[in-house]
Amino acid sequence: MAAVDRFYLLYREISRSCSFYIEALAIVGAWYTVRKCVSLAFDTYSMLRLHLIPKLGGEIDLVKRYGKWAVVTGSTDGIGKAYAEELAKRGVNIILISRNKEKLESVSRSISETYKVETDFIVADFSKGREPYPAIREALKDREIGILVNNVGMFYPYPDYFTNLSEDVLWDMININIVSANMMMHIVLPRMVEKMRGAIVNVSSASCCQPTPMLTIYGASKVSWGVVFNGMH
């Protein structure tokens, strides 16, 4: 019986000690559950606000709200081209900016013929530092720019250590991924502020939100933007 008593006493002490940890774990679990529920509620609201609520009020007239023209950088392929096509579909005239004249001509013609809007393009290589911006400023000065999509970007040819990157790659990535967005906003924003309307979309990357080994400069060059949509009414 002595052995049984000793075991019972030991079990009771262990249970008493464990109850504190169980209560602590229960509190942590409850806090985690509440946090996830709140996050889910916010995500659900954001989804409804973005995808459902605008449709209930009818499609927004982008030309009336923002202006006649949209500028899209890096607009001959991928996301930039998709932005240009979607804006044109909504009746907005498009100015395409990229470095390849042949592609610009082709995309410009295709958008104009498909969506029956005016299109124009500017040939510009954003890797050239300050060089392209005077011509861009001159080409846009008499246009009613209501929307700017800063989409142009540069990725690594392949993942590599920072110390192995050439100075040319570093400067090109900084000029294309960071400087271009700042300079394009500097060109179009004053008129938007003057008219008290306009929208700017800065396209970033998921690489800005998590560590990106061997892609450090790309991630750093995108982290300052996130995905920003700023409307002025």
Where are any strands of DSSP class E within 34-144? 69-73, 93-98, 119-123
* First-to-last C-alpha distance (Å) of the chain: 84
DSSP state of 76: S
Under 8 Å CB-to-CB from 133, ≥6 apart: which residues?
183, 187
Helix count and strand count (H, E) for the chain: 9, 6
What distances in angstroms separate CA 122 from CA 44, 132, 144, one per listed residue? 40, 10, 16
State the burial class of residue 173 (Cβ atoms within 10 Å of its Cβ: 0-12, 13-18, 19+).
buried
- 218 annotated active-site: yes
Active-site option among 66, 83, 133, 218: 218
- 134 φ, ψ to 5°? -60, -40
Give the C-alpha separation, 155 to 193, whole Å. Answer: 32
User: Which sequence positions are flagged as catalytic?
Assistant: 218
